[in-house]
A and B are shown apart, each in its own frame.
Chain A
Amino acid sequence: MDRLEIAISHQLGDLTLELELAVDPGQSVAVLGPSGAGKSALLRVIAGLLRPNEGHVNLGDHCWFDGEKGINLAPEERSVGLVFQNYALFPHMTVLENVAFANRDAAPEMLRRFGVGSLADARPARLSGGERQRVALARALARDPEVLLLDEPLSALDTITRREVRGELAGLLAEVPVPTVVVTHDPADAAELSGSVAVLDAGRIVQRGSLSELRASPQHSIVERILGSATDDER
């Protein structure tokens, strides 16, 4: 398993995304920030869905993107599992077909592992929010990706489901042996899903550390504002 290293600069309308981030194998980093800070763009850059203006994205010795050398691997050539905010399940396929799209041989086993084996023949429209998330995770992990990316993994769920699923997801992430980046706007999600939190504001990482470190000595007003704000659960 390899370390994920990102150093990129990208102009997105009025926002300049300019950041460096390294994530070790087995480590989960939460990128915490308000909407419009560039969180989803960061995941799209890592996945190869958005080509940054400059910089590099490396996984160990493998170069996925290098602006200077003109290297830019297509998304399908990078080994990435990306769980989208709305899960992006294929509506015309069954649960089993969704996971088999990524890996036909592993699909039945993945469904069992994620507790959705009984839903194999169901279409995504029939699933609850929590079930959809499990199918999306099973699909993203079916190819044994070397990097796992989660975009606001809990925001599509209602408050009660959210609390249940958050614990499940934390347990799962603890077992994932690859670098994981979780993007969220909710400090409670960040605290439970990742040991390390990077606060992103206006395209830049303003502080990184454990949530307790950030709480103890916030070095930026946005860190104070985000950590001081109520979580979705408390609202």
Chain B
Amino acid sequence: MSTRSRNRAFLGASALAAAALIAFLAIPLIALVTSVAPGHLPELLTSPQTLDAVRVTVEANLVADALILLLGTPAAYLIARRSFAGRRALITLIELPLVLPPAVAGIALIVAFGPNGPLGGALAKAGVTVPFTELAVVLAVTFVAAPFYLRSAISAFAALDGDCLDAARTLGAGRFRVFRRVALPLCAEALRSGWALAFARGVGEFGATLVFAGSVAGVTQTLPLAVYAELPVSLDSAIAIGILLLAVSALILLVSKLPSLWTD
């Protein structure tokens, strides 16, 4: 076979692989969106159970994302900019929930926050029960979503030009002002896309929530849990919630890529 025909064969095989994969990824999504008449969507999405699931999802993710941003940003800055023994091990530990099966995350949270757990015991004495409450949904979402934000934030802060931070100190800025005026704005884009990933993961959270918080309508049932609960009852309702979640996911992806969408 000549070089030219080998090149052509490779190009053809690659195009075929790409077409097959794109079709496999796109067809289920198209099927989902087209399986319910658009006119029925408002009715299906305004059932009391779905509206409750929307409320639980929004509330839990608002609180979880506030926790992730408020605690995660300074923590990532500290881990990225200080050298200490065990730093690499700590980063690996932070990243562990990324690859942990969600059900395992749920079990781990139950063990920790259950009445006999190291954290749950103390909370139980103070009269606070965590498992199977809305607080458990918040903690499950935080547990699985935080690593996405932390990972982006740590690598962005670590890549900062140390001379810029040092220059700011010699210009009279204390550590907090350097963080606020120099480090945060320089890492804003990476923090935003890390947050978008964490938010998407949090909104779609299923396994850890089911194990740790259950699927109690109006209390702990989030939208992904509602899809599962509606499936045997009303396929159309489950599909409608699926379309809603797909739209939210697409929007998050779009927002996180907005500045670079028009480049190659």
Interface residues of chain A, those whose CB is within 8 Å of chain B, are 44, 47-49, 74-76, 78, 80-82, 84-86, 88-92, 101-102, 139-140, 142-143
Contacts and interface: CB of A to CB of B under 8 A. Distances in A.
Given A74-B174, A143-B172, A90 B182 contact: yes
Given A92-B185, A101-B181, A49 B168 contact: no
Given A90-B164, A90-B182, A92-B185, A74 B172 contact: no
A88 B163 contact: yes
Contact of A101 (B163, B173, B186): B173
B170 interface: yes
9 contacts: A49-B169, A76-B173, A76-B174, A82-B167, A90-B182, A102-B171, A102-B172, A142-B171, A143-B171
A47 B164 contact: no
Nearest to A43: B170
Given A88-B163, A88-B164, A90-B164, A49 B185 contact: no
A93 B254 CA distance: 27
B186 A76 contact: no
Given A75-B169, A91-B186, A86 B174 contact: no
Interface of B: 161, 163-164, 166-174, 181-182, 185-186
B166 A49 contact: yes
Given A88-B161, A90-B164, A80 B170 contact: yes
Contacts of B174: 74, 76
Interface of B is mostly: helix
Contacts of B181: 101
B167 A76 contact: no
A84 B163 contact: yes
A92 B161 contact: no
A49 B163 CA distance: 10
Nearest to A82: B170
A49 B169 CA distance: 8
Contacts of B171: 76, 101-102, 139-140, 142-143
A65 to B, nearest CB: 15
A81 B169 CA distance: 10
Contacts of A85: 163
A48 B171 CA distance: 12
Contact of B169 (A74, A89, A142): A74
A185 B22 CA distance: 58
A76 B172 contact: yes
B23 to A, nearest CB: 43
A48 B169 CA distance: 9
B179 to A, nearest CB: 13
A102 B169 CA distance: 10
Instruction: Please indicate which of the listed interface residues B166, B170, B173 has the most CB atoms of chain A within 10 Å of its own CB.
Output: B170
A81 B173 contact: no
Contact of A76 (B164, B170, B185): B170
A43 to B, nearest CB: 10
A139 B169 CA distance: 13
Contacts of B186: 90-92
A88 to B, nearest CB: 4
A49 B170 contact: yes
A75 B177 CA distance: 13
B169 to A, nearest CB: 4
Pairs of residues from A and B, 10 with the lowest C-beta to C-beta distance, nearest first: A75-B169, A88-B163, A88-B167, A102-B171, A82-B170, A84-B163, A92-B185, A76-B172, A75-B170, A88-B164
A31 B169 CA distance: 23
Nearest to B174: A76
A90 B180 CA distance: 13
Contacts of A92: 185-186
Contacts of A74: 169, 174
Nearest to B178: A76
